[in-house]
Structure 1
Amino acid sequence: MAAAETETAAALQAEVSALRMRVQELERENQNLAKAASSCTCRFKDDSVRSVAVASSCLYGSNPEARHNGKFHQSSPLEKDLSAPFYHSIISTENEIQRNRNVEGNGLPDDSSKRTKRRGRQDGTLSHCSKRLVALKVMYFGQRFYGFSSEGNTEPTVESEIFKALERAKLMVGSRKESCYSRCGRTDKGVSASGQVVISLYLRSNIKDVGGDMQNERSEIDYVKVLNRILPQDIRVLGWCPVPADFHARFTCLSREYKYLFWKGDLDILEMQRAASKFVGEHDFRNFCKMDAANVSNYRRRITEFTISACGKRSNNDELCYMTIKGTAFLWHQVRCMVAVLFLIGQGLESPSVVDSLLDITKTPRKPQYKMAAELPLILRSCLFDQTDFMCSSDASRSLTEHLNDQYHHYMLQAEIFHEALNCLPFPESNSLETLQKKRNHIPLLSRQTEPSYEERIAKVKTKLTDNLSIAS
């Protein structure tokens, strides 16, 4: 008899231990539920409350007084001992849900929304705001920039300064990739732009339904005014325009126009214009660019206009002129290479027929080595797009005009200071012997050493790629 009671007691004790472990597991689960309920929406919180109510009914029974007093309907001391921890967990869950309800009822944000907004403030993006795809028309003076693109570790660039301003103005709605960012083109170090549609990307918008009527833009953010207050003095936004979702700043561009300034000096403008006319049309310009065989295989481009005109400004008996070059697209350094060859022709060092020879890749498959024209006088004047009507508010336009006038007068004063310094020096006489010596030392383009052809470059790229794959394997 005693042995049977001992076995029964041992069995009960084992069952009690198992039940205690189960209660501890339920406590942990309810703690997790309480945490989850604090960040759920109202609908899910209501479901949690109903779940808690069901659990409470199981523990308290149907006696309202027992539920109010927090007493279980079981009378066994063992059952009370097992149920007490679970009861406290249920009560804490109910209290947590009630606190969250009170917070929502007061209209205060919960911790998760605070953290989201705090992260948005830190990285300059507001992903929860309304957004729209916008194209920005930008002007910049490239003297102090390492080109437009922010690729590599060179700073500053025009692109990096623009993104700093966008983030500071809290106009970004995500990362650069998430914003569907695209740029029309990349200018070299020192090159300026007076009207490039530099970028298109999604920006924060005041208009909730950007798919609705786009004509009424009075309530929209004044992107021009906001950005120009933050951007450095040598970068300015000229206008903005809402664009469709399939807009791409590079591939939607119909044509680009460049302008190159130069002093006439002793250049033969008529001979230069004869040679420039040979560029018009579709040609293979591999001998008039910096070849990038790894990324570019097609070197045919179309030039629609190439003219040389006088600016109407003179200084010290010299006349300022400019070249206008229009085309659908351009290769790397193409404009500066074409201008360099025209300068050789204008100096009488080359014949206009050299352009024909360099455009004939069967006759001249390798580019002769020659120095490009300087980058400072080159301006990307405009980029043409279809159905883009750029907007600029009257306030932003007035501020922009005042800023450019101030900058113009500032640099005119500097130019006058240099002009005054020149007047203090005796004007040198022209040296015809120096010009003659320069012609004697000139090596004709078609007789110079050449760079590797495209076929040789691409073969080298493939060999290098094969070697890298062999090493990796």
Structure 2
Amino acid sequence: MYRRMSTYEKWTKEALIARVLELENKTKPHVPKSSAKELPTKRAKQMDFSKYTTRPVAIRFAYLGWNYHGLAVQKDPKTPTVEQKILNALYKTRCIPSENPLDCNFSRCGRTDRDVSAMAQVISLNLRSNLSLEEQRDPANDSRELDYLKILNSHLPADILAYEICLRPPEGFDARFSCKYRHYRYFFNARDLDVEKMNEAAQLLIGEHDFRNLCKVDASKQITNFKRTILQAEIVHSTGDLHFLSLRGTAFLWNQVRSVMAILFIIGQGLEPVDVLSRLLDVDATPRRPAYEIAWGVPLVLYDCGFEEMEWKKSAYTTLEHVHNVYHEHWQKMVMAETMLQVVSPFSQPLPTGRLNVGEGINPRSKYVSLFQRQFLESPEVVNERWLRKQDEKQTDEKR
């Protein structure tokens, strides 16, 4: 039987594709280009925090600091900090109303700088609660409360871990002002260093001293009192050539521990006598700090923070798998670095001791200049006054 050929059967493949696309476009709703950006976008549903109770808590956590620009939130949100990660995790999980620390009465125990780690950092803040204020007081209701540690850790990177919480801190508890002491450790390879002299010098730190020559001055803080009390200071052997400075005090200045460690390294190398620390602590005889480079931040850790007796509790959901993964990753990198050294080093040359002049004293091949023959920095009073003057000038310019 004769079949009449369809019009489309005579078309080429390219013409058919063009026709299909034309028909598809006709079935789609036309959106003018001018109004395309005005289409409503789906927004995340906002939680009404006024419908919930909150409760003050204290959280103890640890972190490895070399991936962060310190603990505290920075003005630039693109700058990664430990607090930024924590606040973001709590906000995403609707535990706090915003990422602004002021909105949850946020307080930290000890502020750490870039590269510095912590093993027992503590923050206090107010979190959304499943319980009424009366129910919060009874420990029998804790199983009905939000598992804050589980929630927080599920949204934190592997190098930050919250591991203890106090659901009922003392009345008026503040992580910063309720802290009795801060305990730092600085780890180092002691090979080729005179540890006994370093330990002898460390004893000179104990007690109340003016540490203006053993810190950096932050003019924006306008600090005028540089006296701090050190409760304990000693060099402790860990294992093999590994030692650490154990330093415990009520409070610390900016870069104080790293400045102390820099001087101890110079003493350990025999480049300065032990009593150089006494001269630096005598601000009447030495009112200005000599120029010297502070020790590297990575080996420094805020090891512990001391508080009065509190009811600390671990989460039933505490996994260390991601911490083990971080450890294994760095162990593998260390193995590769050691392998590279073994391959490229001449067979007659021993491998380095591990003290690679990264903030650990002075390069023995460089000419050493005594601390008191160097240039002296400006006094804190001059630094503070110049900063205030610049602020006044800035305000004057803004009013014009």
TM over 0.5: yes
- Structure showing greater Rg: 1
State the match for 1:209 in structure 2.
Answer: 133
1:428 and 2:354 matched: no
State the alpha-carbon separation in 1 of the partners of residues 391 and 67 from structure 2. Answer: 36
Please report how far the alpha carbon of residue 261 of structure 1 lies from its aligned counterpart in structure 2 after TM superposition. 0.8
Please report how far the alpha carbon of residue 289 of structure 1 lies from its aligned counterpart in structure 2 after TM superposition. 0.5
Please report how far the alpha carbon of residue 417 of structure 1 lies from its aligned counterpart in structure 2 after TM superposition. 2.7
Please report how far the alpha carbon of residue 353 of structure 1 lies from its aligned counterpart in structure 2 after TM superposition. 0.8
Deviations 1:425-461 (A, max 9, x none): 3362599xxx999487111111110111122223323
Please report how far the alpha carbon of residue 196 of structure 1 lies from its aligned counterpart in structure 2 after TM superposition. 0.6
Q: Give 2:63's match in structure 1, choosing from 140, 162, 174.
A: 140
State the match for 2:322 in structure 1.
Answer: 403
Relative to structure 1, the CA distance from residue 170 to residue 468 in structure 2 (aligned partners, 3 Å threshold; closer, same or farther) is closer
State the match for 1:305 in structure 2.
Answer: 232
1:356 and 2:278 matched: yes
1:318-333 to structure 2, matched below 5 A, reads 319-333=241-255
Please report how far the alpha carbon of residue 252 of structure 1 lies from its aligned counterpart in structure 2 after TM superposition. 1.0
AA at the equivalent of 1:133 = P
Deviations 1:94-113 (A, max 9, x none): xxxxxxxxxxxxxxxxxxxx
State the match for 1:96 in structure 2.
Answer: none
Deviations 1:28-76 (A, max 9, x none): xxxxxxxxxxxxxxxxxxxxxxxxxxxxxxxxxxxxxxxxxxxxxxxxx
CA contact (8 A) 1:133 1:244 kept: no
Structure 2 residue runs of 5 or longer lacking an equivalent are: 1-43, 353-360
State the match for 1:19 in structure 2.
Answer: none
Relative to structure 1, the CA distance from residue 462 to residue 166 in structure 2 (aligned partners, 3 Å threshold; closer, same or farther) is closer
Relative to structure 1, the CA distance from residue 429 to residue 229 in structure 2 (aligned partners, 3 Å threshold; closer, same or farther) is closer
CA contact (8 A) 2:189 2:242 kept: yes
What SS class does the counterpart of residue 403 from structure 1 fall into?
Answer: helix
Q: Give 2:72's match in structure 1, choosing from 125, 149, 156.
A: 149
Higher relative contact order (CA closer than 8 Å, sequence separation 6+): 2
State the alpha-carbon separation in 2 of the partners of residues 214 and 284 from structure 1. Answer: 46
State the alpha-carbon separation in 2 of the partners of residues 436 and 469 from structure 1. Answer: 44
Number of equivalent positions: 342
Q: Please, what is the CA RMSD of the aligned residues? A: 2.6
1:271-310 to structure 2, matched below 5 A, reads 271-295=197-221, 296-310=223-237
State the match for 1:95 in structure 2.
Answer: none
1:453 and 2:379 matched: yes
AA at the equivalent of 1:267 = L
Structure 1 residue runs of 5 or longer lacking an equivalent are: 1-116
Relative to structure 1, the CA distance from residue 323 to residue 427 in structure 2 (aligned partners, 3 Å threshold; closer, same or farther) is farther
1:413 and 2:332 matched: yes
Aligned-residue sequence identity (percent) comes to: 36
Q: Give 1:389's match in structure 2, choosing from 311, 316, 328.
A: 311
Please report how far the alpha carbon of residue 268 of structure 1 lies from its aligned counterpart in structure 2 after TM superposition. 0.5
Relative to structure 1, the CA distance from residue 210 to residue 326 in structure 2 (aligned partners, 3 Å threshold; closer, same or farther) is farther
State the alpha-carbon separation in 2 of the partners of residues 321 and 172 from structure 1. Answer: 41
State the alpha-carbon separation in 2 of the partners of residues 185 and 411 from structure 1. Answer: 26
- TM-score normalised by the chain length of structure 2: 0.79
CA contact (8 A) 2:206 2:229 kept: yes
What SS class does the counterpart of residue 284 from structure 2 fall into?
Answer: coil
State the match for 1:39 in structure 2.
Answer: none
State the match for 1:170 in structure 2.
Answer: 94
CA contact (8 A) 2:120 2:305 kept: yes
CA contact (8 A) 2:231 2:249 kept: yes
User: After the TM superposition, which of the residue ranges 246-255 and 333-342 deviates more from structure 2?
Assistant: 246-255
State the alpha-carbon separation in 1 of the partners of residues 348 and 244 from structure 2. Answer: 25
State the match for 1:239 in structure 2.
Answer: 164
CA contact (8 A) 1:193 1:379 kept: yes
Relative to structure 1, the CA distance from residue 127 to residue 349 in structure 2 (aligned partners, 3 Å threshold; closer, same or farther) is farther
- TM-score normalised by the chain length of structure 1: 0.67
CA contact (8 A) 1:127 1:173 kept: no
Relative to structure 1, the CA distance from residue 462 to residue 224 in structure 2 (aligned partners, 3 Å threshold; closer, same or farther) is closer
Deviations 1:350-391 (A, max 9, x none): 111110000000000000010010011111111111132221
1:229 and 2:229 matched: no
CA contact (8 A) 1:281 1:302 kept: yes
CA contact (8 A) 1:256 1:383 kept: yes
State the alpha-carbon separation in 1 of the partners of residues 365 and 330 from structure 2. Answer: 36
Bigger helix fraction: 1
